[in-house]
Structure 1
Amino acid sequence: MARDLYEVLGVSREATEDEIKKAFRRRARELHPDVNKAPDAEEQFKELNEAYDVLSDAQKRSAYDRFGTVPGATGGGSYGGGYVDFEDLFGGGFGMGDIFSSFFGGAAGGRTPQRKEGRDMGVGLRLSLEEVAAGAKKEIVYDRLAPCPDCDGSGMGPDGREVTCPDCHGQGRVVTVQRTFLGDMQTAATCKSCGGTGRTIENPCPECEGQGRVPDRQRVTVEVPVGIRDAQQLRLSGFGEAGMHGARPGDLIVTVRIQPHEFFERDGDNLHARANVSIVQAALGAEIEIDGIFEGEKVQVRIPEGCQNEQVVRVRNFGMPKFRSDSRGDMLVHVNVVVPKKVTKKQRELLERLAQEMGEDVADARTPLQKLRDAFN
């Protein structure tokens, strides 16, 4: 971000959000490598995208206005500052460059496009186990072809209207006659002027060039239900790619990805945890306290008398909240019996007396000098 970002977009520092969007789309049409064959077009488009990534986000723009830079900005489109991982359903993530490539591939120049429905788009949303247990609201920021705000998706300008195509006279195809030595041969081809629809737009919308959709950065809040499973999907109707000429938009499909937890391991609705106990607690039994999945939650675990290493103790109703239910799973506590590496002299004496009582042989850890002193005493 060496250059002034407002200069890159060609707007003033007082520019509104709408003015920034329009300036970006205008400059992107000029600089996109699909239409601009200059050697540095790709680099300029990347710089433009970085500028828009900052100035289209209120927090990033505020930081840039104050400090002249944005902490943590990496360029190339942040896609929501780490909220999501983009996993396009057809393979590969969507960037603004891909969006513009789709835009340039659509109908333009006054043609009335076919009512082509928008594609579904997919994102992967990363969540912690605590967020899944409590439910969460997450903001997703992503690039898509959105309905044109200037024409409400119709593709028509202020005085625009649909008219019969003058080239094919509403037939959608053009017949040409070629004279050969065998006689006249007729061929029919799709009309290039109307794309086979038989209709064209008179005075198309200048913002979307008659498509009814424009590249844009979308923000949407996703409500994640309590107890959702890893790889489960949420469908946001109408938030995918906008359809052409007012056709039905696609959906945004959010795939939940739950991050590993440092203490708990999820198994369906149950939670597995580990707890350390001493050999005395394992032998005599004890009641210990461990943290639960909710903030501030404490779980009382009853260690049975004679508990063995790796024994599993079940605590009812302290697991994960069940999906669309008021009940919870269980917590399964795996007991780890900890043997002390060093003991005091008194502790050793007590353990030796216990071993003698139980008829068990133990190693004598005294040095020869200690044995000699004990013999004289």
Structure 2
Amino acid sequence: MSKSHYEVLGISRNATQDQIKKAYRKLARKYHPDVSKESDAEEKMQSINVAYDTLSNEEKKAEYDFQLDHPEAFYQSGAQTGTGGFDNTQFYRQGFNQQHSGFSGFEDLFGRFGSGFGGSNYQYQNQQRQQQRSYQGEDQHASIEIDPEIAYHGTTQRITLQIPTLNAYGEPEVQRKTLQVKIPKGMKEGQHIRLNGQGQSGINGGKNGDLYIEIHYKDTAQIRVEGADIYYSVNIAPWEAALGQSIEISTPEGKKIQVNVPKNAKTGQQLRLKDQGIPSKVPGHLYLVLNIVYPAAQTEHEQQAYQAFSEAFATFKPRND
């Protein structure tokens, strides 16, 4: 007696679609003619493909389950069939005959019960026994870190990725890929670039999956990226902070601009430059994070300057004690 599709895939009848898919992939890696050393690998692979084609389709699976539950309805050369396809042999149905059922014969009955009992699906299932079905490869995901300056200009960058995957034998391995990746300007933190056909290889000539690269920007002592916003640390002198002077800075984009520091500015205070962040469809903002830097008093003149400074602010109490 031929094996049922469930037996071919090694699963139970209540297996989920995810379990059916996993079972197929496991067997495909084992019996694929390109990698298998089994003498009957091609024949087994054809049976595996037919089984998966039927059970992965909810409608076909329901029809096939009906066939399994009503074996008395089908006869193949004096034996029951469990393969889901039926040859042009004798057919009988217990409790029915042509006079009472109104069936006009083999083709009429198959047509009434639907494609799962023959009809339009009959030839299709027979064809599936003779050929292997192709399947698209899985998509893969990776992430890279790039310099924040790239957000303003874009670039083409050569990258090498190490991507966990499974080889043709179903064994885990790390795949090393070196690719030329075009990174457009305006990429936000966490956005993806899709590379068509760079994912896992397809099965039986199927299309390759895609590779999705997630963009992350390197955090430095001066720059931090959040979405489309950039936080940029700017050092200022104590007098610039106290007097509220105009200063010149170089932005992450590479431009030199004038910025007015407010009077009595404090360390950690942020100045927002609207739409000066990552130039995406909705531009981000550039936040200047002020950091007051005090010069070292190395010479006697510099020490005297600090002494005069302290005398000028004799009532200033830096500690609440």
> Shorter-chain TM-score: what band?
0.3 to 0.5
Structure with greater proportional strand content: 1
Structure ranking higher on relative contact order (CA contacts 8 Å, 6+ apart)? 1
The structure carrying a bigger helix percent of its residues is 2
- With the length of structure 1 as denominator, give the TM-score of the two structures: 0.41
